[in-house]
Amino acid sequence: MVKDSKRTVPTGRFAPTPSGEMHAGNLLCALLAYLSVKSKGGRFLVRIEDLDTDRCPRSSADKIIGVLNELGLTSDEPVIWQSGRASVYREKENELGRKTRVYPCFCTRAQLHAAEAPRLSDGGVIYSGACRRLTSQQIAEMSKSRRPCYRVEVPDTEIVFTDLLAGETVQNLKRQCGDFILRRSDGVYAYQFAVAVDDGESGVTEVVRGNDLLSSTPRQIWLMRLLGYTPPAYYHIPLVCDGDGRKLSKSEGDSAARLVGTYPRERVLGYLAYCAGIIESNRAASLEELIDCFSWEKVRRGKILLDKHLLI
């Protein structure tokens, strides 16, 4: 359970998945998360979301931390590594199982993606609930040939929240999301669950991240409430694109490591802050200066364009 003293301190975090390099847009997200919480006098945490250790090599995580440190976006507490927290997730999974139904699911990919499966807007499928009512005998039988994943049964409830950038967001968990996975069949905990637990355990009061995660937020809020945590405030930032309005990639040209490796720290900070709308001219700026002048009102609401040519 979160201690009250922790929640009184504004707490923000940046939580990259080190499955590859960071691009400049990820770096901008880290900067906004940092400035937002520091401008409130709070603390900033870095959490490495390396649940899937096969996809997330330590070297990528070290590189990300190196880039953040290079810009001064350092964690106020030891970096949290999700790969080392399985025992916490296990404990919380048990707690959740006492409050709602968590059940094994043996469905294959083909069964899940059957033609009649209702689709989500992001192309995923809404789980049919086929394994929801298996008897213990059926479970024992099916376990002989297949390792199940574990899902949580969601209620027919609307989760409503006001994102501080995207506005009011409503999602019916049953109709628009469905019973979702807490733990994969290989034992790896799912992103949604680990994020809810870690944001709750760290006393996070605000989350700044990309708009692509807006539709994940109702699930996380619901899990946090069930586990007795107070959900944070959310700022889902608009898509960050290159100068031509194309989605950024992690290619050499857009990589955050290249940026910090090529230009002085304050030049990179000023460039990112200018592109986001925080300062009015494209110049060098210190972190202290940006903390002083930061306000969400200044941050662009439409696409944020990171035009590399501004650095030449």
- Residue 224 interacts with ligand GLU (CB under 6 A)? no
Residue 204 CB, shortest distance to ligand GLU, in Å, is: 10
Nearer to ligand GLU, 148 or 232 (CB): 232
Stretch that binds ligand GLU, among 10-18, 93-101, 182-190, 290-298 (CB under 6 A): 10-18
- Residue 17 interacts with ligand GLU (CB under 6 A)? yes
- Residue 209 interacts with ligand GLU (CB under 6 A)? yes
**Nearest 5°: phi and psi at 43?**
-115, 150
288-306 per-residue burial string, b: 16 or more CB within 10 A, e: under 16: ebbbeebebeebeeeebbb
Residue that has been written with the tokens 């394994």 in this structure: 131
Name the region of 10 (left: φ>0; alpha: ψ -120 to 50; beta: rest): beta
Q: Strands across the sheet with 233-237, in order?
A: 80-81, 43-48, 11-14, 206-210, 233-237
Tokens of 114: 């059957």
Angle, in degrees to the nearest 10, between helices 58-71 and 265-276: 90
CA–CA gap between residue 14 and residue 7 (Å, rounded): 17
Tokens of 183: 């733990």
- Residue 43 interacts with ligand GLU (CB under 6 A)? no
Tokens of 70: 């290079």
| Nearest Cα residue to 159 out of 179, 176, 137 | 176
| Nearest Cα residue to 38 out of 217, 286, 271, 255 | 286
Nearer to ligand GLU, 15 or 61 (CB): 15
Residues 49-108 that bind ligand GLU (CB under 6 A): 49
Nearer to ligand GLU, 131 or 299 (CB): 299
Identify the residue among 10, 11, 12, 15 touching ligand GLU (CB under 6 A). Answer: 15
Residue 209 CB, shortest distance to ligand GLU, in Å, is: 4
Residues 160-199 that bind ligand GLU (CB under 6 A): 195
Residue 71 CB, shortest distance to ligand GLU, in Å, is: 17
Stretch that binds ligand GLU, among 11-19, 150-158, 177-185, 270-278 (CB under 6 A): 11-19
CA–CA gap between residue 203 and residue 232 (Å, rounded): 8
Residue 17 CB, shortest distance to ligand GLU, in Å, is: 4
Stretch that binds ligand GLU, among 15-23, 124-132, 146-154, 257-265 (CB under 6 A): 15-23
Q: Summarize as ranges the residues that interact with ligand GLU (CB under 6 A).
A: 15-17, 49, 195, 209, 213
